[in-house]
């Protein structure tokens, strides 16, 4: 079925150049010590995504913060009593923290750290998409702006998208989905829901190559293939496990395989190595024949986060997230539905079966 609304065929998003922080051992130690002091003085906690640098992930854990997927980042920041939340990740993660915690100061090392999915879904175009389909509930991926979340009926992360869509489908709803076409297509296939998909994509995951992955898998017959669902369907089809970043780390920890081929941002390897020392981790291919990747297996926006920038923010101030109150309050409703659903499901109050 072709949508009545002209969904952008495939928005072209140009990622920024990859610039990763390089520190000497002494610089790293000095920066971490300074940041720890400033965090104590400012009653701050650090919440970092798995794709950020090993330095930020280590600092988060050393200071009582958390390193996690976007769902747990939202939950942890909300439950933590600190007055300042430092979000090391991309803009939508900082915005989600602010939406849930308006009374807290939410800062990020670099406010320009964006996401190709968020950029591909401007709020006015998304509103027109919804207006053209008043008979459908709108479900948006967390990788969207506060304004898009405010217009949506539901917000989901990759860790819970399939469960929520299944639930809505069972209740008889037809859906609009934005912005990730690959995750949307995956969720539509496993839920059987009637969904019209926005056509955004992740510049990192879209670059994984199925043919090269098949060859690599043949060379490593003992390896399990782990795939984040922002990847193309041809890559997902080769997966032993499809899941959010946390679900993929759990797979490395719990599966008996000695080797894993991993189709997601390679920042996750830091945590995977810690979770399962001794297991062999191999990056899924983005290069080779037909290579198109600009930021091969690493997100250039996530790489904008670093210790130097974090120290500067805590010393000089700035880089605070602000969201207009009417947008924040409406976005809160659709995020809260997801958090409530997650809590209900965990407590067995919602049964999804298979
Ligand atoms: P997760 O929710 O799985 O951490 O994914 C966030 C993201 O941006 C993946 O590219
Ligand atoms: Fe966005 Fe992709 Fe970067 Fe995740 S990895 S933040 S989806 S561009």
Q: Which runs of E-coded beta strand occur in the chain?
A: 44-49, 66-68, 84-88, 105-107, 137-141, 154-156, 175-178, 195-197, 223-227, 241-242, 259-263, 280-283
Is 116's C-beta closer than 6 angstroms to any atom of ligand 1? no
Q: Lowest-pLDDT range, 126-130, 266-270, 295-299?
A: 295-299
Work out the percent of the chain whose per-residue pLDDT is above 90. 88
Q: What is the pLDDT of residue 350?
A: 83
Q: What is the pLDDT of residue 296?
A: 75
* Residue 103 near residue 338, CB atoms below 8 Å: no
Band of residue 2 on the pLDDT scale cut at 50, 70, 90: very low
- Give the distance (Å) from ligand 1 centre to CA of residue 150: 20
Tell me the average pLDDT across 143-169. Answer: 97
Q: What is the pLDDT of residue 288?
A: 53
Of 354 and 327, which is predicted with more confidence?
A: 327
Band of residue 293 on the pLDDT scale cut at 50, 70, 90: low
- Give the distance (Å) from ligand 2 centre to CA of residue 95: 15
Q: Give the count of alpha carbons within 13 A of 354, CB side only.
A: 0
Nearby residues of 256 by Cβ (< 8 Å), 6 or more positions away: none
The DSSP output letter for 180 is: B
Nearest-CA residue for atom 2 of ligand 1: 70
Q: What is the pLDDT of residue 12?
A: 82
Q: Is residue 267 pLDDT above 50, yes or no? A: yes
**Angle subtended by helix axes 325-346 and 91-100, to nearest 10:** 90
Q: Is residue 309 pLDDT above 60, yes or no? A: yes
Looking at the CA of 159, which ligand is closest? 1
**Two structure tokens written together for 180:** 């990730």
**Two structure tokens written together for 64:** 């009582």
CA distances from 180 to 14, 20, 114, 157, 336 (A): 16, 26, 15, 11, 21
Nearest-CA residue for atom 5 of ligand 2: 299
Q: What is the best residue among 158, 250, 251 to mutate for testing ligand 1's pocket, by most ligand atoms within 8 Å of CB?
A: 158
Helix/strand number for the chain, H first, E second = 15, 12
Looking at the CA of 89, which ligand is closest? 2
The count of other CB atoms within 10 Å of the CB of residue 305 is 26
Q: What is the pLDDT of residue 11?
A: 73
Which atom of ligand 2 is closest in space to residue 116's alpha carbon? 8
Looking at the CA of 49, which ligand is closest? 1
Q: Is residue 354 pLDDT above 60, yes or no? A: no
The count of other CB atoms within 10 Å of the CB of residue 345 is 16
Angle at 97 between CA 168 and CA 15, to 5 degrees: 85
Q: What is the best residue among 207, 264, 265 to mutate for testing ligand 2's pocket, by most ligand atoms within 8 Å of CB?
A: 265
Tell me the average pLDDT across 182-188. Answer: 98
Nearby residues of 277 by Cβ (< 8 Å), 6 or more positions away: none
Which atom of ligand 2 is closest in space to residue 301's alpha carbon? 3
Q: How far apart are CA 230 and CA 185, in angstroms?
A: 10
* Residue 85 near residue 104, CB atoms below 8 Å: yes
- Give the distance (Å) from ligand 2 centre to CA of residue 282: 20
Tell me the average pLDDT across 79-99. Answer: 97
Q: What is the pLDDT of residue 351?
A: 76
Tell me the average pLDDT across 102-108. Answer: 97
Q: Who lines ligand 2 at CB under 6 A?
A: 90, 115-117, 143, 202-204, 230, 265, 299, 301-302
Which atom of ligand 2 is closest in space to residue 299's alpha carbon? 3
**Helix (H/G/I), strand (E/B), else coil: 299:** coil
Tell me the average pLDDT across 313-327. Answer: 98
**Helix (H/G/I), strand (E/B), else coil: 71:** helix
Element (H, E) at 169: helix 161-170
Q: How far apart are CA 93 and CA 286, in angstroms?
A: 26
Compute the Cα dihedral for 229, 233, 235, 237 and give only its sign. Answer: positive
Q: What is the pLDDT of residue 291?
A: 53
Q: Is residue 145 pLDDT above 70, yes or no? A: yes
Q: Is residue 16 pLDDT above 50, yes or no? A: yes
Angle at 343 between CA 61 and CA 181, to 5 degrees: 80
Looking at the CA of 16, which ligand is closest? 2
Average pLDDT, the chain: 93
Q: What is the pLDDT of residue 1?
A: 45
Is 230's C-beta closer than 6 angstroms to any atom of ligand 1? yes
Q: What is the pLDDT of residue 71?
A: 82
Band of residue 6 on the pLDDT scale cut at 50, 70, 90: low
pTM for the model stands at 0.94
Work out the percent of the chain whose per-residue pLDDT is above 70. 94
Which atom of ligand 1 is closest in space to residue 205's alpha carbon? 10
Q: Is residue 258 pLDDT above 50, yes or no? A: yes
Tell me the average pLDDT across 81-103. Answer: 96
Tell me the average pLDDT across 53-75. Answer: 94
**Helix (H/G/I), strand (E/B), else coil: 107:** strand
Q: Is residue 68 pLDDT above 70, yes or no? A: yes
Which atom of ligand 2 is closest in space to residue 115's alpha carbon? 1
Q: What is the pLDDT of residue 203?
A: 93
**Two structure tokens written together for 70:** 């976007």
Band of residue 201 on the pLDDT scale cut at 50, 70, 90: very high
């Amino acid at each position: 079925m072709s949508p009545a609304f002209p969904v952008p065929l495939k928005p072209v998003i140009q990622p920024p150049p990859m610039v990763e922080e390089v520190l000497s051992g002494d610089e790293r130690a000095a920066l971490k010590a300074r940041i720890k002091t400033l965090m104590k003085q400012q009653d701050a906690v650090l919440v970092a995504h798995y794709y950020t640098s090993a330095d930020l992930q280590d600092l988060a854990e050393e200071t009582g913060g958390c390193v996690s997927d976007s769902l747990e980042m939202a939950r942890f920041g909300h439950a933590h009593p600190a007055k300042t939340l430092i979000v090391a990740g991309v803009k939508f993660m900082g915005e989600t923290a602010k939406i849930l915690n308006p009374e807290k100061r939410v800062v990020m090392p670099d406010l320009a750290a964006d996401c190709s999915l968020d950029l591909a879904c401007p709020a006015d175009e998304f509103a027109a998409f919804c207006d053209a389909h008043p008979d459908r509930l709108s479900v948006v991926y967390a990788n969207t702006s506060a304004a898009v979340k405010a217009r949506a009926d539901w917000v989901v992360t990759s860790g819970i998208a399939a469960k929520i869509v299944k639930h809505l489908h069972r209740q008889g709803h037809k859906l609009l989905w934005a912005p990730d076409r690959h995750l949307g297509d995956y969720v539509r296939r496993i839920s059987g829901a009637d969904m019209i998909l926005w056509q955004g994509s992740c510049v990192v995951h879209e670059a994984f190559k199925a043919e090269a992955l098949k060859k690599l898998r043949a060379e490593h017959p003992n390896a399990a293939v782990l795939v984040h669902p922002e990847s193309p369907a041809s890559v997902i089809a080769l997966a032993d496990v499809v899941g959010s970043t946390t679900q993929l780390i759990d797979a490395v920890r719990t599966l008996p395989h000695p080797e894993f081929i991993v189709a997601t941002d390679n920042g996750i390897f830091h945590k995977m190595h810690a979770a399962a020392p001794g297991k062999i981790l191999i990056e899924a291919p983005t290069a080779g024949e037909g290579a198109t990747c600009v930021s091969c297996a690493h997100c250039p926006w996530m790489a904008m986060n670093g210790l130097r920038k974090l120290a500067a923010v805590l010393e000089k101030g700035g880089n605070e997230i602000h969201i207009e109150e009417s947008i924040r309050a409406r976005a809160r409703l659709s995020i809260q539905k997801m958090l409530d659903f997650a809590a209900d499901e965990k407590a067995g109050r919602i049964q999804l079966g298979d």
